[in-house]
Amino acid sequence: MLRISALLLLLLAALPLWARDSSPAWIEIRSEHFTVVTNAGEKQGRHVIDQFERMRWVFQTMFPKMNVDPVSPIEVLALKNQKDFQALEPAAYLGKGKLNLAGYFLRAPDKNFIMLRLDTEDENHPYATVYHEYTHLEIGDAIEWMPLWLNEGLAEFFQNTELEDKTARLSEPSGDDLLYLQQHRLIPLETLFRVDANSPYYHEEQKGSVFYAESWALTHYLEVNDAMQHTNRVGTYAQLVSEHQDPVAAAQTAFGDLGKLQDALRNYTSRASYQYFRLSTAPLNEAAFTIVPITAAQADAIRADFLAYNGRTADARTMLEGVLQADPNNVLAHETMGYLEFREGNRAEAKKWYAQAVTLDSQSCLAHYYFAALSLMDDVTDAQVEASLRTAIRLNPRFAPAYDALASLYGRRRENLDEAHMLSVQAVSLEPGNVNFRMDSANLLMEQGRFDDSVRVLQAAKEVAKTPQEADFVQARIVQVQQLQAETEREKQQRAEQAEIQTTQGTERILNGPGSGGSGPGGSSGESALPRLKHPTETPHGKMLTFWGTIRGVTCSYPAVMELTVEGTKRKVSVYANNYYKVDYRAGNYTPSGEVHPCQDLEGMKAEVEYFATADKTVDGQIVAIMMMK
C-alpha cells in the first residue's frame, strides 16, 4: 500500500539538474476546479484530472454543507517516474528506512500543491494516491486541531475508493493494511492518539506502516459502527479536539473505555469481511478539459515555485535564474522570486519582484496582494496599492487577506471608514477563525468611536482564539478599548465643564463689567480648566512615518500623556501621545501574556513606531501605533 502525505515544510536535499535535451514534453490540463501539470502525456494527465473531479463530486455529495473548493488554487504535479518525483521530494523521506512516498501534499496559506508519482500505481487501486491527497486537501482547514491519526485515517478511508461510470464504492477494506496489522502488534491507542508530525511513527518505514494501517482500521471501524448504530462518535471526538481538549481525554469521552476499544479494534482487524458504502455518481464533461503544451521554462517555473514553497530555497533560486535567462518576462518566476526574498526578510527586494510581476500584467491574486501588503509595510498607501488590492479581490473574491488589507489601507488614510468596515466584515466572514481579522475590524470600529461594537467584535474574537495566549492578548485589547472609551467620556465631560465655566465667566464679565472683581482671567475659577498640554493634539494627517529601534525614556503624566524616544542604529526620534489609550499597540512576533501597560511595559522594548509630524517642531511627531517585538 502506498504511504503518502506530509504536512511539514522541510528543508530538502540538493536538487539534481535536469538534462534539457532529454526532458519529456510538459503539458498543462485544466478543468473547472483543477490544474494538472505533467510530463507523463495527455492520456495519463486526463485520467488524473478526471479522478480529482470525480472525488470532488463524492465529497460534495457526502458533505453538501461543506465548501469543497478551497480558497487557494489547486496545482497538481503529476510526475512520470521516481526520478522526477525524488527531485522534488522532501529530504525527510529520502534514505534507508524511510517511507516510500508516492504522493506529497503541501498546503501553504495561499497555495495548495499535490505531487504524484505515476509509476507506482497499484492494480487494485490505481489512483489511491489521488484520492488520499485530495482528502487531505478537503479537510485541510482542520489541520490546526485534527489529530494526525484521524487526518491520515480519513485519507486512508477515502483512498480505497472505486470510481466507476455510474457508482462510487467508498471505504473498501485495505488488504495490505489488514495483513500488516495481523502480522504486527497494534500501537497502544493512547500513543496513537498523541502521534504528531515529529513522531517516528509518522516517518520511519516500519513504525510508519503500523501508524497508517492502524489509523485506517480505527477510522473504518468507527465510521461503519456510527453508520450502523446511527451514532456520531467520530463527530463528537472531532468537536472536542477542535475545542483544544486533550486528544486522549476527548477519545475517552467520545469512544468510552480505551482498553475495550483496543480489544474491539484487534478483533476487527482479524475479520474476513467488511462493509463499505456505495454512491450513485453523475457523469463528467471531459470535453470541458483544456490541454495546453508548456515550454521547458514554464515547467521549470512551476517546479521552482513548488520548491520555494517546500523550503528548498537554493534549488528554487537556481532554477528561477535559468527560467529568467530563458524567459525574462516569465510572470510566475518574478512572483516566486518575490516570495523567496520575502521569506528571507528582504522586503525591499520582494516588493521589487512583485511590482515587476504586476507590471507584466500578472493575473495572480497573490502577486497583487503581496505587492500591496509590502507597500503597506512601507507606509505607502497610494492609488497603485489600492488598485492592486482591488485587483486581487477581483481575481479571487474569496481571498480574505486582500479585503483585510484594503480595509487597513482606508483605516490608515482615515477615509472611507464605512466601506473599510464592510471590507473588514467580509474578511471575517470568509475566515471566521482568523483572530487578526477580527481585531482589525475592532480597530476600525474604535477609530469611528463605536467602542461598544468594537468590544463585541473582540469578545467574538476571544471565542475563536486558538491558544490561551491568543485569548489573553484579545482580552488585553478589550480592556484597552474599554479604558479608551472611559477616557474619551471623561474628556467629553471635562470639555463640557470647561465650556460651562467659560460661559459663566463671560456672563459675569458682562454683568459685572471690567474691574468688577468677578472671576476674570486671573480669577480662581480658571483653575478648574483642563491641564495645558505640552504638545498639540492633532488628528492623524499627512504621511504616516515609521521608525524601528529601542524605546527609551518613557514618561507619562496626567491625564494620559506619554512621551518617549526611539533609538535606532544611526539616529533617534522623539514622539508623544496626549492620550496613550488611543495608540494602537500590536505584538509583531509574539503574544503578550496579558494586558499591555504602556507606561511600564514599553521601556527597553524593540518596536516599530508609526507616527506623523505635527505643528510642534520640537518633537518628531505624534504616535499612531506601536508594534512591539521580542
Query: How confident is the model over 395-434, as pLDDT tens digits?
Result: 999 899 999 999 999 988 888 888 999 999 999 998 888 8
Res. 566: pLDDT tops 90: yes
Angle at CA 186, nearest 5°, toward 276 and 212? 55
Query: CB neighbours (10 Å) of residue 414?
Result: 13
Classify residue 513 by burial, with Cβ atoms within 10 Å: 0-12, 13-18, 19+. Answer: exposed
Q: Contact, 59 vs 163, CB < 8 A?
A: no
**Fold (CATH) for 295-396:** 1.25.40
pLDDT (tens digit per residue) in 466-499:
778 888 888 988 988 888 888 888 877 777 767 6
The neighbouring-strand residues paired with 280 are 167
Cis peptide leading into residue 16 (ω within 30°):
no
DSSP state for residue 580 in the 8-state scheme: G
The gap from C-alpha 256 to its chain's centroid, in whole angstroms, comes to: 35
- CA–CA distance, 391 with 441 (Å, rounded to integer): 21
Cα–Cα distance between 344 and 563 in angstroms, integer?
Answer: 34
Q: Which of 320-329, 438-447, 539-548, 582-591 has the weakest average pLDDT?
A: 582-591
CA distance 101 to 108: 20
Closest Cα to residue 269, out of 327, 216, 346?
216
Q: Give the mean pLDDT of 28-35.
A: 91
The reported pTM is: 0.67
Angstrom CA distances, 218 to 188, 204, 253, 269, 581, stand at: 12, 20, 16, 9, 54
Domain ranges of the chain: 22-280, 295-396, 399-504, 545-629
Rounded Cα–Cα distance for residues 445 and 452 (Å): 9
- Indicate the range of 208-212, 448-452, 454-458, 584-588 predicted with least confidence: 208-212
Q: Which CATH architecture has domain 22-280?
A: Orthogonal Bundle (1.10)
Instruction: Over range 518-534, report the average pLDDT.
Output: 48
d(CA 373, CA 385): 8
- Quick one: pLDDT band at residue 623, thresholds 50, 70, 90? very high
**CA dihedral over 354, 358, 360, 362, signed as positive or negative:** positive
Q: Please tell me the distance from the alpha carbon of residue 446 to that of residue 451, in angstroms, as a whole number.
A: 5
The packing angle between helices 233-242 and 247-255, to 10°, is: 150
pLDDT of 515 over the 50 cut = no
Q: 585 or 139, which is more confident?
A: 585
Of the candidate CATH numbers 2.40.37.10, 3.40.640.10, 2.40.50.140, 2.30.110.10, the domain formed by 545-629 belongs to: 2.40.50.140
Helix (H) or strand (E) holding 352: helix 347-359
pLDDT score at 139: 77
Mean pLDDT (whole number) for 324-333? 95
Interatomic CA distance for residues 376 and 134, integer angstroms: 36
Protein fold of 399-504 = 1.25.40
Give the pLDDT band (50/70/90) at residue 334.
very high
How high does pLDDT run on average in the chain?
A: 82
Top mean pLDDT of 319-323, 462-466, 569-573 is at 319-323
Give the pLDDT of residue 354.
Answer: 95
Domains 295-396 and 399-504 share a fold: yes
Q: How far apart are CA 47 and CA 45, in angstroms?
A: 5
